[in-house]
Structures are given as structure tokens and as C-alpha cells.
Amino acid sequence: MLKTFLSALLLSAAMTAAAQQTAYRYWTDNDASTLRQGRAAEGSFSVGADLGRLSPGVHALHLQVSRDGHAWSAPLTRYFTVAALQPQPTACRYWFDNDVSTLHNLTGLEPTVSVDLRGLKAGLHALHFQTVADGIGPSAVLTRYFYLKDDPADELTLTAWFDAGRSQAQTFTYTGDDITLTTDHLRRGLHTVTAELRNSQGDLLAADSLEFEVVRYKTIRLTGFATTYCADDDLDFTSVEGLRAYIIAGFNRHSYEVTALRIDDAPAFEGLYIEGEPGDYRVRCSDSYSVYANLLRGTTESLLVRPVEEDYVNYVLSPDADTATFVPLTRPTYVEPSTAWLHLPAPADRSRPLRIVYGDEPDAIRNVTSPDAPAAVYTLSGRRLPPPSRGAMPKGVYIVDGKKVVID
């Protein structure tokens, strides 16, 4: 009989007073004829729902609870799928080295199958295995490789290494079981693993190589809505939902504002300003070919930063409940690893915080413009330019509507 068990604690939307709710009833697919009732001895309970009469497909389970068996709660509905029962395998077959003439058929499938190796020569072989079930035919073919020794007492060794690093090869006693190699020391990108199988006399019995890719990720944690960040690898933000990365590309010494420009990728050791909902985000490491004029300095280790360096002032991020600002350091401070700080020419008032504005958004309403007003144009240093026509702009690299544009 098919049953499912529903934890009452997981169904809290209808059971906020679960400690006193001891009676329950449930039915499926809005069909009153399937109604079942019961009582629970405890406030937290499980319901054994009889689903044996349901056909394969999507169904709805409706549940109500009650303190006294009369005043029922609103129905809580959950959807589930009943899978079609798969026929069990009744037979199996195997063969060697893609040679169907070696096919062996076995009936009365047992948990352990004995494989006949008689007739095979010493060396490397492939075993192909398949199960058969009535009504649905054979399964996919499972292939495993093994080495048949001349002398059962002969010890085989497997030597493996990455790329051209044979001098750092690892050697294992080969038993036919899988060998695990760590890739933690490899840089991201394409690599090759090479393996050689030898007997106790050192004779090469088999060799093969395989190309694979190592993918790395960095985890960025937001405890508030904004933070600074710096990584020791290039980062790609294009596929990260809910996370926005910026550089600080400009500084207005009169309005005490810094201009944030959103970016899609960041080179290693670039200081970044990050916004998003609190949580952990996995960002893929991927080659970046961008170069930014960025006023943020980043570090991947704890670093002592002084408030003033010659004619420059250092600022750190100080987020509050609604907005994020950069505030000046008042004493030498160790900044945390994987963070960033602002390094700016000293303004008239060195104690004043800096407000963040965005290069592709207006920071105030100056006047009313028509819908076809010229785009906002900035230099890479963050200085806003008058809006000339594209053809009248000198050669160079500009930020137009938050995007990098090259005029040549």
C-alpha cells in the first residue's frame, strides 16, 4: 500500500496553535469520497495518508486540523506526484570489449552476478552490462574497465599526473577500484590528467589521458544591503541573480559625492562596492579583460591603512539602515581581508562623509528634459562631460549610460 507521511510542523500555515490541535482529516483532489479522519495524541504529529488508489500523475492533498473535532481550520493544500511503478529487472546480460560474440544471458537476476572470464587473454578489457525488464526492454549499457593479469600474484601500479607535471605524479596500487585525485592545487581552466598502468616488472600495460575543466567560485556574503569586496581571481557577475557589483569611478570634491558604475566582470585584486539582498552568493571565477580607472583599493589580506597619506584621504564603507556612505578613517585601522577602501584626493572638509551616486542615474532633479535628451557621458575617471553628438566626441573610452564606449 502506497503511503506518504506529512509532518505537522511543516504545515504550519494552518496550524499556528498546533499544541492543542489533536484532530485531523484529509482528502485528495477535492473528492469528498476520499475523506479520512483521525486523532493525534500530541501537538506535533505525522499523518499516514493512504494514496494506494491514486493513478500516476499530479494530485492535491487537502488537510484540516481541529482542537475539538468541530471547528476545523481552513484547508491546507499541497501538491505531489505519484510516479508510475517501474517493472523490476528479470534478467541481465553482459559481454566484453564490444564483441557481441562474447554475450552471456542470465535469467533470475540475483544481487550478485558471477562473470565468466574464461577465454579472455591477459590485458585491459571492457565489461558491458545490461538489465532487462518485461514490457520495457533493456536498460542503458553500463561499462567498466578491468585488467586481467597473467599471474594473479603480480601487483599492478597506476601512476597519474596533471598536465606536464610528471615529476609530481602520484602512484597507487591498482586493484580495479576507482582512484581519487585532488584538483585543489590546480588553477581554474582546462587541464589534462594522464595515467599509466604497469606490472611489477615496470612494463607499460596501458596508458590514457583525459582533458577536463576546473571551475572555481568565490562566495560573497552580504550581512546588510551593501559591502566592499576584493578577490584574488577574476570574477564574472553576469549570471549572479540579485547581486550588483560597482567600481567607484568619480569623486566630486564640492558635493562630496562618489560615482558608482556597475560592472559585469572584475579583474583580480580590484576593489569593488557590492549591493544586494543579505545572503551568500556564489560568483564564478572567469577571465576578465577589463581595465578600470577605479578609486577603490582592494586587499585580500588584513592590511593597516592610515587616515591620511600625503594629500590623500582614506574612507571605509559605513552602511546604515537606508543608504550606504563612505566615512573617513580617524585613526590607523586594519581593514579586513577581501575588502576595499576609498583612496581620494583630500577635500576641503576631511571629516565629511561621502554619498554614493550612480553613473547611469540622476543624483538630483536639475530641470525637466524631453524624452530624447542626450545620454549621460563620463570619462573613465568619472568626470561628467557636456553631451556632444557622438560624431563630435574626441577619440577615447567613455562611459555612456553606464556602458563602456570606444570612440575611434
3-state SS assignment for residue 34: strand
> Residue ranges of the chain with pLDDT lower than 50?
1-19, 21, 361-371, 373, 390
**What's the CA gap between 62 and 2, in Å, rounded?**
17
Q: How many CA atoms lie within 13 A of 218 on its CB side?
A: 17
The DSSP code sequence of 165-188 is: -GGG-EEEEE-SS------TTSPS
DSSP code of residue 402: T
Which grid coordinates are listed for 167?
Answer: 615529476
For residue 383, the model assigns a pLDDT of 65
Backbone angles phi, psi at 122, to 5 degrees: -65, 140
Distances (CA, A) of 238 to 235, 250, 321: 9, 23, 27
308, 350 in Cβ contact below 8 A? Answer: yes
5, 47 in Cβ contact below 8 A? Answer: yes
For residue 2, the model assigns a pLDDT of 42
Sign of the Cα torsion 360, 365, 369, 370 reads positive
3-state SS assignment for residue 10: helix
Q: Which of 281, 269, 285, 265 is nearest to 216 (CA)?
A: 285
**What's the CA gap between 102 and 250, in Å, rounded?**
74
**What's the CA gap between 402 and 250, in Å, rounded?**
13
DSSP code of residue 104: E
Cell 576609498 belongs to 342
**What's the CA gap between 61 and 50, in Å, rounded?**
11
The DSSP code sequence of 145-168 is: EEEE-SSTTPPEEEEEEETT-GGG
- Give the distance, in angstroms, between the CA of residue 13 and the centroid of all CA atoms in the same chain: 30
25-55, pLDDT tens digit by residue?
888 988 888 888 888 766 566 777 777 778 8
For residue 344, the model assigns a pLDDT of 93
- Cβ partners under 8 Å of residue 366, min gap 6: none
288, 355 in Cβ contact below 8 A? Answer: no
For residue 64, the model assigns a pLDDT of 86
Please state whether beta strands 257-263 and 354-358 pair in parallel, antiparallel, or not at all (unpaired): parallel
- Give the distance, in angstroms, between the CA of residue 372 and the centroid of all CA atoms in the same chain: 41
**What's the CA gap between 222 and 234, in Å, rounded?**
19
- Give the distance, in angstroms, between the CA of residue 407 and the centroid of all CA atoms in the same chain: 37
Which grid coordinates are listed for 10?
Answer: 511543516
Looking at the DSSP assignment, which residues form a beta bridge with residue 229? 272
7, 42 in Cβ contact below 8 A? Answer: no
For residue 192, the model assigns a pLDDT of 94
Task: Confirm whether pTM is higher than 0.75.
Answer: no
For residue 295, the model assigns a pLDDT of 94
